[in-house]
Chain A
Amino acid sequence: MKSNRELTVSRAMAEAIAQEMRTDPSVFVMGEDIGTYGGIFGATAGLLDEFGEERVRDTPISETGFIGAAVGAAMAGMRPIAELMFVDFYGVCMDSISNLAAKNIYFSGGNCKVPMVLMTATGGGYNDAGQHSQALHATFAHLPGLKVVAPSNAYDAKGLMISAIRDDSPVIYMFHKGLQGLAWMNWPQSAAAIVPEDAYAIPFGEAKVLREGRDVTIVAISMMVHRAMEAAEALAADGIDAEVIDLRTLVPLDRKTVVESVRKTGRLVVVDEDYSSYGLTAEVIASVVETDISLLKAAPRRVAYPDIPIPYSRPMEDFALPNADKIGAAVRQTLGKAA
């Protein structure tokens, strides 16, 4: 059966979960408002109708409890998918994530598995202020024992979700609200994609070169992939040929693809919606510098969120968010051109 359906990211996520639930009775979902509501960001739409309340469980507002329970269920032979509604709420349940989910395989000397997925919404751009708009990629990627993925489009969203569910280690699946394809939020049309109907898995640790170019490498993740592509289009009009890489997974991180690209272009700009300091941007730059500093013809640049809480007022948030213009300016700096 040939098919070229275009799906939004949220539909692709829900489809991936449904397919795995059909074939594997150990897969179940729990979280706040994931049942009747279908998930605030649509990632579980339709699942309750098909699978019922035993396998699609609305939880109380008790993240420490139910995320801890996901760890326990995973160690007892199930494959739970838990949703933390906004990543910003990690503070109330980080112990379950960082000291249980992330460490029990190690504490067992490899004698147990923790096959759970924690999916969570990231990102701003819709003026919801400091407790509902963070990206926080680095916070999770920094902790040994957690795999971290952050798709930028519906095709990857499905394939990475299927890999996440099948993985025997805990996976943090960070999806961006603004990419979900929700009716009530602006989203880049490039996030929707043709999604095969059959189940398929995208291996972790393989970045995707979205656009080939000679002059500069732009590395990005999640929403910032779309901003990087916009920047690349604008730069092309000025005769600057940018290569754009979508990391797709942060842990494991595909350092090789980045290094190979910089070997070709000699210039590097890394873009992240997470805070600038101590983050993904530094990590990617370090990967290149530690490999061979002479690959770089110019100082690398990072374009990331300033080290401030996310402001509420629209002009302030717009000012703080990375965008195509800032990426373009950083690229020009690496080329020694005035911004």
Chain B
Amino acid sequence: MTPGKDQLIWMYDKMVEARYYEDSLAAIYMEGKTPKFDIGSGPVPGEMHLAAGQEPCAAGVCVHLRADDTVTATHRPHHAAIAKGVDLNRMTAEIFGKKTGLAGGRGGHMHLLDPAVNFACSGIIAQGTGPAVGAALAARLQGRDSVAVSYVGDGAANQGAFHEALNLAALWKLGVVFVIEDNAWGISVPKAKSTAVRDNAVRAAAYGIPGVHVADNDTLEVFKAAGEAVARARRGDGPTLIEIETYRYYGHFQGDPELYRPAGEVAALKAKDPIDRLTKHMLESGAATRADLDAVAAKARQRVDAAIKFARDSDYPAPEEALEHVFA
């Protein structure tokens, strides 16, 4: 399975958008927090987990999805949210804690929830796996062919909820694609100190479902693996587990001193950046010209700048609004 020209452009677009979004947020997050890092100050509240480097996991999977498909993402959700089509203005306003945000500022960066495109994420590790199974079950019961994608980190693959969800989805042959974003770290703990299994995709065997390992953050390989998994899910043939070796350029959270990380790791990863590699492929294969790509990238950056402006210009909620929406 290879992407067509439109799909390549779409993936490039989403990857550039997500990267520029993350780099912009990274800088904005530090406003008011320097010279002394103080988590409670500046324009962006709370913790901030950035996914720069992990864009292939988002674009290469979501390119196969429709608005009626479901995505449950992790505490590192922006790239997936962007690729799933979450409203960028409202998402950004939510991250800034503004009234115009998806939840009016109640949920924030780790709890983006957009029912319009069936996107949710969570700050509790592996928590999205169950709801993805539920979304696929609902689709089955309602006679729809929508599928669900559940993102987890490599660390999350050691969580009980992940295994229970895999078993349920396999047992009931539900249309779920479990995607492990293996960035090699769970905060400061390397994958090698978290599991005796080198490749989490082999865990699929325990549930009798296909397990696919994608090496080295390769967008085209992600496209292929996800395309097959989504098609299988849509046909009613059941779940797939995909593990993608991916890259985390920033610390676990912004402000993370990263004392655990070997010097030079990030530079080595950046030397094989997935956006650069996709660009090269598109130019060499004739899928796009440099001018095409520049135009796409310029528009993506405009959307991000506009969303950030929207978020900054929006008002904070009135304090008492905290009391609303506890129940439906």
Contacts and interface: CB of A to CB of B under 8 A. Distances in A.
A49 to B, nearest CB: 13
Interface in B127-183: 155-156, 158-161
A129 B194 CA distance: 27
B208 interface: no
Contacts of A283: none
A62 B162 CA distance: 10
Q: Which of A40, A61, A89, A317 has the most CB of B within 10 A?
A: A61
B125 interface: yes
B228 interface: no
B237 interface: no
B321 A316 contact: yes
A318 B46 CA distance: 13
Given A185-B38, A313-B45, A33 B187 contact: yes
- A59, A60, A89, A183 interface centre (most CB from chain B within 10 Å): A60
Contact of B37 (A59, A62, A132, A184): A184
A309 B160 contact: no
B107 A37 contact: no
Contacts of A307: 326
B106 A313 contact: yes
Interface stretch (A120-128, A139-147, A189-197, A261-269): A120-128
Interface residues of A, number: 44
Given A131-B123, A319-B320, A186 B106 contact: no
Contacts of A88: 123-124
A91 B108 contact: no
A32 B323 contact: no
A314 interface: yes
A186 B41 CA distance: 10
A129 B111 CA distance: 8
A153 to B, nearest CB: 21
Nearest to A53: B193
B289 interface: no
B193 A183 contact: no
A316 B319 contact: yes
Interface string A36-64: 11001000000000000000001111111
Contacts, number: 152
A61 B316 contact: no
B64 to A, nearest CB: 28
A306 B46 contact: no
Interface in B85-132: 97-98, 101, 104-111, 122-126
A338 interface: no
Contact of B322 (A132, A185, A186, A319): A319
B302 interface: no
Contacts of B126: 61, 92
A201 interface: no
Given A36-B188, A312-B109, A313-B45, 20 more contacts: A33-B187, A33-B189, A35-B188, A37-B188, A58-B188, A58-B189, A58-B193, A60-B155, A60-B186, A61-B155, A61-B186, A61-B194, A127-B40, A128-B45, A129-B46, A185-B40, A309-B106, A311-B105, A313-B316, A315-B317
20 contacts: A35-B188, A36-B259, A60-B189, A61-B125, A61-B194, A62-B160, A89-B124, A127-B39, A127-B108, A128-B47, A129-B108, A129-B111, A130-B106, A131-B124, A313-B106, A314-B45, A315-B316, A315-B318, A315-B319, A316-B322
Sort A-B residue pairs by CB-CB distance and give the 9 closest, nearest first. A312-B108, A313-B105, A127-B45, A319-B319, A313-B97, A316-B322, A60-B158, A131-B123, A37-B188
